[in-house]
Amino acid sequence: MNKARKLIVWCGLLAVSVAVTFAQNSKDLRVYVIDVEGGQSTLFVTPAGQSLLIDTGWPGQNGRDADRIVAAAKKAGISKIDYVLITHYHTDHVGGVPQLAERIPIGTFIDHGPNYETSDKATEEGYNAYQNLLATGKYKHIVPKPGDVLPIQGMKVLVISSNGDLIDHSLPGGGEQNSFCKVSESRPADKTENSHSLGVLVTFGKTRILDLGDLTWDKEMQLMCPVNRLGHVPILIVSHHGWYQSSSPALVDAIHPQVAIMDNGATKGGSKPTLETFQKDAGLETLWQLHYSNEGGADNTNEKYIANLQGPDTGNDIELTLTPAGALTVLNSRTGAKFSYTTK
């Protein structure tokens, strides 16, 4: 076979394999909760192949986190990330942006507006590096408000929180008095970037997934008390890596998720009180953790639901596949085991 012929055959095979990949999953939403060692990076890929990445992990480490994101994109069969949403400007969320942009095309960036922690050196550095990238003019840029729906197709992404503001009305299925407000202590207002997190509620078919970034306890109380504005949410990406500064009972117990996924590191997030909140949550079927939490001890979830155990880091992710009818499969990429849920 001459070179040109070989190339045609090779391209043909590639096209077939890509087509098969999409045909197999053509109706499902795929979500990759990527291990960025206690930061956040969650990739959503719609049936039509549109993508939304929530946060980019840490900088440095020879692009470790950006490489892990690109690897997840490859698994999903995409070669471009359409939307990158930055929840806020702490290093573990915005830090990976420049390295990611070097490795994969990005369409649009979404964020909450200017940085609130200008006096914090690391935060300001991460913010400035991101601003420099936006200033190239190569990317679209959206700064949405609570209540806005992002323009991604194939799933509905509703903004719940941004820039310290919260959605001001109850969603369908919400609006009931929240009995968990009285067992959630009041805490002082957080003044950091965390409380300005851009949080979203994703609706796909019959199911909803909540990701509020690092939104803090005080904002959760404003959002959920006295009335639960969100109603029941079957799948929760646990706020703030499972740190005790978030995950009030007023949020967690009121939305009573069936499946919660904590993007904690070995020594970041995964606080004992937060793990206990999830252990006590009656409606929860499984708490998943990206890492075994050293602080958590016996309060860690069952080992089969942990993607990275103690010892050398292997960067395993947690992969969700969701059908429009609400059938959820969660894969632990460490073990290859899949677990099925019927979300309702």
Binding site for Zn ion (CB under 5 A): 92, 214
When the beta carbons of 92 and 220 are compared against Zn ion, the nearer one is 92
Task: Give, as one character, the DSSP assignment of residue 149.
Answer: B
Taking CA atoms, 219 is separated from 91, 126, 130, in Å, by 21, 24, 26
Closest separation between CB of residue 40 and Zn ion, Å?
A: 6
When the beta carbons of 92 and 117 are compared against Zn ion, the nearer one is 92
Closest separation between CB of residue 268 and Zn ion, Å?
A: 8
Closest separation between CB of residue 29 and Zn ion, Å?
A: 24
Taking CA atoms, 284 is separated from 94, 175, 233, 257, in Å, by 30, 21, 11, 6
- Residue 176 makes CB contacts below 8 A (sequence gap 6+) with 227, 228, 231
When the beta carbons of 87 and 300 are compared against Zn ion, the nearer one is 87
Half-sphere exposure for 136 (CA within 13 Å, toward CB): 13
Closest separation between CB of residue 92 and Zn ion, Å?
A: 4
Closest separation between CB of residue 12 and Zn ion, Å?
A: 45
Given a contact cutoff of 8 angstroms between Cβ atoms, the answer to whether 92 and 41 are in contact is no
* Burial of 212 from C-beta contacts in 10 A (0-12 / 13-18 / 19+): buried
Closest separation between CB of residue 315 and Zn ion, Å?
A: 18
* Burial of 206 from C-beta contacts in 10 A (0-12 / 13-18 / 19+): middle
When the beta carbons of 207 and 289 are compared against Zn ion, the nearer one is 289
Rounded to whole angstroms, the Cα distance separating 115 from 190 reads 15
Half-sphere exposure for 221 (CA within 13 Å, toward CB): 16
Closest separation between CB of residue 241 and Zn ion, Å?
A: 6
When the beta carbons of 192 and 222 are compared against Zn ion, the nearer one is 192
When the beta carbons of 86 and 320 are compared against Zn ion, the nearer one is 86
When the beta carbons of 117 and 214 are compared against Zn ion, the nearer one is 214
- For the beta carbon of residue 297, count every other beta carbon within 10 angstroms: 10
When the beta carbons of 88 and 229 are compared against Zn ion, the nearer one is 88
Q: Read off the tokens for 215.
A: 């939104």
Given a contact cutoff of 8 angstroms between Cβ atoms, the answer to whether 215 and 161 are in contact is yes
Closest separation between CB of residue 211 and Zn ion, Å?
A: 12
